[in-house]
Amino acid sequence: MRITTSLNYATDPRTAAAQARELEAAGVDCIWIPEAYGFDGVSLLGYLASATTTVGLASGILNTYSRTPACIAQTAAGLDALSEGRFTLGLGASGPQVIEGFHGVPYSMPLTRMKEIISICRMAWKREKLEHDGRVFTLPLPADEGTGLGKPLKIINHLVRPDIPIYIAALGTKSVEETAATTNGWLPFLVYPERMDRVWGDAVTAGLARRDPDLGDLDVVAGGIVAIGDDAAQFRNFARPMAALYIGGMGARGKNFYNDVCRDYGFADEAVAIQDAYLDGRKDEAAGLLPAELIENTTLCGDEGYIIDRLAAYKAAGVTSLNVSPIGGEPAQVLGRLSELAEHA
């Protein structure tokens, strides 16, 4: 099982580079850099590419609305060159609050948009001329929509790899099925291992049934905060504010994918109460309403025996890589020990 972690996008880049070098020395397999509405993630990824030599680097995630497909392809190719083949392109649809509120772009057709972006990226990386006639994107732009001077172009550079890995953050069943069928990895969120199959099992099975064997096995990346020690269970509650934000605040009533997942896990009444409290501005109350069972089983906080048991549960659920946020100790030390424990799970 691979061990990966994310760095805070609000972190000073120089501090992030020092952290990345420590994580690399500890044997961490990959570092994810998120992007929301603070610093962009690409600049930090480029900086880390020059500050490290072996650890994988990944966008976790770039949204599919604020950059054109060709720009996403160029960006991934450039980061793969800077890192000498260590980059993974993590993509996600984000949500209307960020896309429409921060970027001023209509949040429409997220699944179709994602499929077309993946197709265009792979076309670009093979150095094929970009010609695409889709429901969202048309390349080149039709003459009646512009000057009429556009022509099919291919990327100028010879790439380090023509098959940069693509991982997708997906929660809806249609998106999960498409991810399992067509990409290298899946990034679910708020994963309760024993209930993954209940929520996404059919979608994953359907996607894998039509998966191209050349893609290899699907890498399923999941996790949460991690703390290891006899008194580490106390750190589970550190997950409450973020879980409340997503389940309660990431979208209006009836339009919150994270709230839907909470319901599908079997916490329907709690999901309603959490969202009501959060949207009414009672954020602390919303965090307190999260079921202890959900918090415990979406985090990795406990003594070493407990951690080994939970790692076994993740493996049994099909998780192949952990993406965890260490607390309660030096991050590199916590993740190094987690890697050792994973060998016994």
Residue spans per domain, the chain: 2-227+303-342, 230-302
The DSSP result for 1-69, as a single string, is: -EEEEE--TTS-HHHHHHHHHHHHHTT--EEEE--SSSS-HHHHHHHHHHH-SSSEEEES-EESSSS-H
Strand partners of residue 32: 6, 58
Residue 345 has a pLDDT of: 87
CB 12 within 8 A of CB 40: no
CB 62 within 8 A of CB 109: no
Q: What is the DSSP string of 163-230?
A: S--EEEE--SHHHHHHHHHHSSEE--SS--GGGHHHHHHHHHHHHHHT--GGG-SPEEEE--EEEEST
Give the separation between CA 254 and CA 74, rounded to whole angstroms: 36
133: which strand partners? 138
Taking each helix axis from N to C end, the angle separating 110-125 and 173-182, rounded to the nearest 10 degrees, works out to: 10
Lowest mean per-residue pLDDT among 93-97, 218-222, 262-266:
93-97
Task: Report pLDDT digits (tens) over 183-223.
Answer: 999 999 999 999 999 999 999 999 999 999 999 999 999 99
Evaluate if pTM is beyond 0.95.
Answer: yes
CATH 3.40.50.720 matches 2-227+303-342: no
Q: Which residues contact 293 (CB under 8 A, 6 or more apart)?
A: none
For residue 25, which amino acid is it?
A
Q: 5-16, pLDDT tens digit by residue?
A: 999 877 899 999
In angstroms, rounded to a whole number, what is the distance separating the alpha carbons of residues 263 and 273? 11
For the segment 285-307, the average pLDDT, to the nearest whole number, is 98
Residues listed for the chain: 345
pLDDT-above-70 percentage for the chain = 100
pLDDT digits (tens, 9 = 90+) for 312-321: 999 999 999 9
pLDDT band, very low/low/confident/very high, at 94 (cuts 50, 70, 90): very high
Three-class DSSP category at 140: coil
132-184 confidence digits (pLDDT tens): 999 999 999 999 999 999 999 999 999 999 999 999 999 999 999 999 999 99
Contacting residues for 207 by C-beta, under 8 A, at least 6 apart: 176, 177, 178, 179, 180, 181, 182, 218
pLDDT, tens digit (0-9, with 9 covering 90-100), for 28-56? 999 999 999 999 999 999 999 999 999 99
Mean pLDDT, rounded, of the chain: 97
